Amino acid sequence: MELEASFLTIAWFIALGILLPVAALTVGKWLRPNKPSSRKAITYESGVDPTGEGWVQFHVRYYLFALLFVIFDVETIFLYPWAVAYDSLRATLGVWVLYEMIIFIGLLVLGLAYAWKKKVLKWE
């Protein structure tokens, strides 16, 4: 299939994906009751009156995991083309194609080991 047709297919899938919730919620609007009250609009907090804001502070470690994720996700972007071309590169460049990747991954694994040692990966 040519490229434009494939993109059109995906566009149609996304359009349908938006259409279904919109249609279902519109139909739901005609069917469901709507009796708003101030009690119903209170934020849920196990049945007691909520204290303070809902947007509370959360632990900084989430950012550390996000950083690790970005590093390794970018790594995979480099790994995929390498993996696709592996056989042809192996035929022309020899085992060097593997050594290069060992060096690249090795550097990142070093970073992971450092994070590990610094107890970033530990969740308390």
Partner 1 sequence: MDLFFYLGPIILMLLLLGFVTYAILFERKVIGWIQNRPGPNQVGPWGLFQTIADVAKLLLKEDIVPGKADRSLFKLAPVIAFVPAFAVLAVIPFTDSWQFGDFAVGLLYYIAISSITIIGILTGAWASNNKYSLLGGMRSAAQMISYEIPLVLSVIGIVMTTGSLDLNDIVLAQKKVWFIVPQFLAFLIFFIASLAELNRTPFDLPEAESELVAGYHVEYTGFRFAFFMLAEYVYVFAMASLTTCLFLGGWLPLFGLTMIPGILWFLLKFSLVVFSLFWIRATMPRLRVDQLMQFAWKVLLPLSLLNIFLTAIFKEIPVLSSFY
Q: Shortest approach of partner 1 to residue 15 CB, angstroms?
A: 9
DSSP 115: H
Q: Shortest approach of partner 1 to residue 98 CB, angstroms?
A: 5
Cα angle value 51/55/60 (rounded, 5°):
120
- Whether residue 89 contacts residue 97, with contact meaning beta carbons closer than 8 Å, is answered with yes
Backbone region of residue 57 per phi and psi (left: phi > 0; alpha: psi in -120 to 50; beta: other values):
beta
How far apart (Å, rounded) are the C-alpha atoms in residues 117 and 65? 15
Cα 123 to chain centroid distance, Å, stands at 20
- Residues 33-92 touching partner 1, rule: CB under 8 A, are 33-36, 38, 40-46, 50, 53-56, 58, 62, 65-66, 68-69, 72-73, 76, 79-80, 83-88, 90
Interacting residue ranges for partner 1, rule: CB under 8 A:
1, 5-6, 8-10, 12-14, 16-18, 20-22, 24-25, 27-29, 31-36, 38, 40-46, 50, 53-56, 58, 62, 65-66, 68-69, 72-73, 76, 79-80, 83-88, 90, 95, 98, 101-102, 105, 109, 112, 116, 121-124
